[in-house]
Amino acid sequence: MAIRLSLVAACLYVLSASVCAQVTPHARALPAALTGSYGGVLSTWDPTAQGNRVEQLWFRGDQIKTALVINESGLRAHGTTTSGAVTFNYGLVLDNVSSAWSAMDPDPKKNLTATAATVFNNTLNLPARGAGVDSNDVHMWIKHTRPFVFTGPNLILQHAFTPGAVSGLLRMNAGNSKSGSLMLTSGNACGGTLSAAYTNGTYTMAVKGAQANSACLFMLGVDKVLFAGSVPLPVDLSGLGMTTCELGLEPIFSLPAVTDGTGAATIAAPFTLKTADTDVWSVQAMHQTTSNTAGWATTNVMTSIMGTVGLMRSLRVDSRGTNGPSTFNSVSIITLVR
């Protein structure tokens, strides 16, 4: 039986008394499912070979908080690859759209509405840099010339790159669920390690390295940015006696389990991928421990993107021609916003 996790509610209560501290909060990613997690794909703009480039991205509305006000944005740096110095003109357009995933046109102009907002259009000078150090790392935070309010129901974000005097390779983070599922890890564990997998119609959540023969709770939710709509995630739980532990998501419900003699616990359930849409959820486990005074520890967070269409879509136009719209869930440039 699913049960509410009272310890999480207790943490929210004591937050007002500053018992739970704040660690560095996640920067909100578009899509939200990739908040706190690298997308696993490299996106490169080569000004010399590609010339002018327009990158248009469609996002399902549940991946952006309703009434979210966007004042700044940044291109997420790739996690393992360096970038060269580059000077270019950068344009950014945001648009509330009612069009569906399936309606994206190969002509970017046809996908924008009359109320599309150009929130930035100016020259950027980006120095050469190493790989991203974490999922919050951007090439540069760009302050917009006007705020944008997301009202939905869906969002189109359009990047425009025009080469300038310095033409290094700009390498960014991207992601897709072309294979049908995408499993992403985020956050720091003070206890065991959580994994998730989808194989032959079965979705599996598994904890290893927990205390043997002890209680374990798998907490499921969708939001990794805010707890209860206002508290930035992740939250440091050290104030509750859970030293170096973090709450990395807002739990909607939890599933109880008991670890075996090796400290492992698994929950597996049949799951059929949708043919016309995508499910997204995040999981974090909490298990008993003797390593702190509270008697509980947390794992990393696993986010599962289950499905191939309906969540995000990419369209690219450059000197080589048109690529897309993609036939599967794809975000060719992961953008962080605040």
Q: Cα–Cα distance between 9 and 252 in angstroms, integer?
A: 11
pLDDT digits (tens, 9 = 90+) for 225-275: 988 888 899 999 999 999 999 999 999 999 999 999 999 999 999 988 888
Residue 20 has pLDDT above 80, yes or no: no
pLDDT of residue 3: 39
Q: Cα–Cα distance between 327 and 334 in angstroms, integer?
A: 18
Residue 2 has pLDDT above 80, yes or no: no
Mean pLDDT over residues 71-100, rounded? 97
Q: Cα–Cα distance between 191 and 265 in angstroms, integer?
A: 13
60, 156 Cβ separation under 8 angstroms? no
Q: Cα–Cα distance between 307 and 333 in angstroms, integer?
A: 19
Question: Strand 265-270 vs strand 279-288: parallel, antiparallel, or unpaired?
Answer: unpaired
Residue spans of the domains in the chain: they are 6-26+179-306, 31-178+311-337
Angle at 220 between CA 218 and CA 226, to 5 degrees: 125
pLDDT of residue 24: 80
**End-to-end CA separation in angstroms for the chain:** 38
Mean pLDDT of the chain: 92
Strand partners, 267: 205
Q: Cα–Cα distance between 249 and 235 in angstroms, integer?
A: 9
Residue 194 has pLDDT above 60, yes or no: yes
Which one is predicted more confidently, 229 or 161? 161
pLDDT of residue 316: 98
Q: What are phi and psi of 48, to 5 degrees?
A: -70, -45
Mean pLDDT over residues 48-68, rounded? 95
11, 225 Cβ separation under 8 angstroms? no
Residue 280 has pLDDT above 80, yes or no: yes
For the ranges 3-7, 94-98, 121-125, which has the lowest average pLDDT?
3-7
pLDDT of residue 229: 84
Mean pLDDT over residues 112-128, rounded? 97
Q: Cα–Cα distance between 244 and 147 in angstroms, integer?
A: 36
What one-character DSSP code corresponds to residue 312? E
Distances in Å between the Cα of 12 and the Cα atoms of 168, 280, 283 are 46, 24, 19
Q: Which CATH architecture fits 31-178+311-337?
A: Sandwich (2.60)
Residue 12 has pLDDT above 70, yes or no: no
Query: Buried (b) or exposed (e) across 301-322, using 16+ Cβ within 10 A?
Result: bbbbbbbbbbbbbbbbbbeeee
Percent of the chain with pLDDT strictly greater than 70 = 93
Question: Strand 321-323 vs strand 330-331: parallel, antiparallel, or unpaired?
Answer: unpaired
Distances in Å between the Cα of 96 and the Cα atoms of 68, 233, 262, 315 are 12, 26, 51, 17
Q: 180 by DSSP, 3-state: which?
A: coil
178, 245 Cβ separation under 8 angstroms? no
| pLDDT bracket for residue 18 (50, 70, 90) | very low
Of 93, 134, 126, 140, residue with least CA distance to 315:
93
Residue 17 has pLDDT above 60, yes or no: no
pLDDT digits (tens, 9 = 90+) for 171-192: 999 999 999 889 999 999 999 9
Which one is predicted more confidently, 11 or 319? 319
- Cβ-Cβ contacts under 8 Å for 183 (sequence gap 6 or more): 195, 196, 197, 198, 302, 303, 304, 305
Residue 121 has pLDDT above 60, yes or no: yes
Can you tell me which residue has the tokens 């450059």? 318
